[in-house]
Amino acid sequence: MLLEVKDLKMHFPVPGGIIFRRHVPPVKAVDGVDFFLRRRETLGLVGESGCGKSTLARAVLQLYKPTAGSVRLDGTELTALPPREMRKARQRMQMIFQDPYASLNPRMTVGAIISEPLRNFGVMRGKELRARVSELMEVVGLSPSFVNRYPHEFSGGQRQRIGVARALALNPDLIFADEPISALDVSIQAQVVNLLIDLREKFGLSYVFIAHDLSMVRHISDRVAVMYLGRIVETAGFNEIYREPAHPYTRALLSAIPIPDPNIEASRKRIVLPGDVPRPDQEFTGCRFRTRCSQAIPDCAATEPVLADLGKDHFVACLKPSA
């Protein structure tokens, strides 16, 4: 098991009051998440905007200090590591960011950006470093002759490749890709996904691939985890979840995938969820999805569902999972 996350919570305190402190409930962006990732496996993390996907990634990577819970990388508990050790552990985990425009320092050349992790960790220098940067650029499909260019001279897809090259620099085991393709043109999205797949085969990487709809994770994920309001509600192999979605929210998400055939598309049945996502600073009892669930029963308000094993790597947090 490469990565094990148990009951991870990330609550953000909200400062209240101008002069006197008054109690304001914290925003519970991630509220008790369990998942695991095997070596060389890709987990697609799916959920609508604001459900806590990016926060989960940052809490796992210890960019945020999690409120509670445990994150184990190869058996090492990351939440308890002193800063110095944590910095070392970071070499094994990297991240690809959502916005290829904001994630590259506009004042640095491509070469400086890609070589930064190597220099920071003192892995290599001089000629060796330059050779490594060229190699990385080739690997991600950029001409090494662009090494002295600046990010603003590249297109979105090329910039995302720079981000990928930076993430690869330290030869990590695990890469968190935080919606790496949602800011890109549809025509470019496939290129980047294919690049990530190629790199996975080549370097034996493991990914947590975050996206906000299931169609995006289709090609790359071995397993999919569906998040709703700070919790994972269902996780299973991609084919399994596609054929037999057990959670009503997953079914709604699946029904939103457009089909590239106008005839089928016209007759496609879509599940439209009523209402809005509840505020993440609300206190909950029972199931979080019950306010929008068509199959809610009175018990849903009383009992909080936990992830239950349905077999075949399929887990679902629902009192009334459909088989």
The reply on whether position 90 binds another protein by CB under 8 A is yes
- Residue closest to 47 by CA, chosen among 200, 310, 247, 207: 247
Cβ pair 13, 26 in contact under 8 A: yes
Nearer to another protein, 63 or 297 (CB): 63
Q: Which is nearer to another protein, 6 or 149 (CB)?
A: 149
- Helix or strand holding residue 133 (H, E): helix 126-139
**Footprint (CB under 8 A) of another protein, residues 1-60:** 58
- For residues 207 and 43, is the Cβ–Cβ distance under 8 A? yes
Angle, CA 25 vertex, CA 19 and CA 28 arms, to 5°: 135
Size of residue set near another protein by CB under 8 A = 39
Listed ranges 1-9, 70-78, 145-153, 261-269: which one lies at the site for another protein (CB under 8 A): 145-153
Residue 9 or 149 with smaller CB distance to another protein: 149
Segment interacting with another protein, rule: CB under 8 A, options 29-37, 65-73, 140-148, 258-266: 140-148
Strand-pair partners of 237: 223
187 part of the interface to another protein, by CB under 8 A = no
Between residue 99 and residue 128, which ones bind another protein under the rule CB under 8 A?
A: 99, 102-110, 116-117, 120-121
User: Closest distance between another protein and the C-beta of residue 50, in Å?
Assistant: 17
Question: Residue 149 Cβ, how far from another protein at the closest point, in Å?
Answer: 3
Selected from 12, 36, 150, 203, the binder of another protein by CB under 8 A is 150
Give Cα separations from 79 to 13, 58, 68, 207, 291 (angstroms): 19, 12, 9, 20, 34
Residue 240: enclosing H or E segment and its boundaries?
Answer: helix 238-243
Residue 11's Cβ-side half-sphere holds a number of Cα atoms within 13 Å equal to 16
Q: How far is the CB of 190 from another protein (least distance, A)?
A: 16
Given the complex with another protein, which of 121 and 284 has the nearer CB atom?
A: 121
Spatial separation of the C-alpha atoms in residues 96 and 209, rounded to whole Å: 9
Give the C-alpha separation, 103 to 128, whole Å.
Answer: 25
Site for another protein in 151-180 (CB under 8 A): 152-153, 163, 166-167, 169
**Residue closer to another protein (CB basis): 71 or 252:** 71
| Shortest distance in whole angstroms from residue 65 CB to another protein | 12
User: Edge-to-edge strands of the sheet including 223-228?
Assistant: 93-96, 174-178, 206-211, 42-46, 223-228, 231-237, 314-316, 308-311
Q: In the bound complex, what is the minimum distance in angstroms from residue 64's beta carbon to another protein?
A: 10
For the CB of residue 130, give the shortest distance to another protein in the complex, in Å: 10
Instruction: Name, in order, each residue with C-beta under 8 angstroms of 173's C-beta and a sequence gap of 6 or more.
Output: 2, 39, 74, 92, 93, 205, 206
Is there binding between residue 145 and another protein (CB under 8 A)? yes
Which of 80, 128, 135, 143 binds another protein (CB under 8 A)? It is 143
What is the binding site for another protein (CB under 8 A)?
Answer: 58, 61, 63, 87, 90-91, 93-95, 97-99, 102-110, 116-117, 120-121, 143-150, 152-153, 163, 166-167, 169
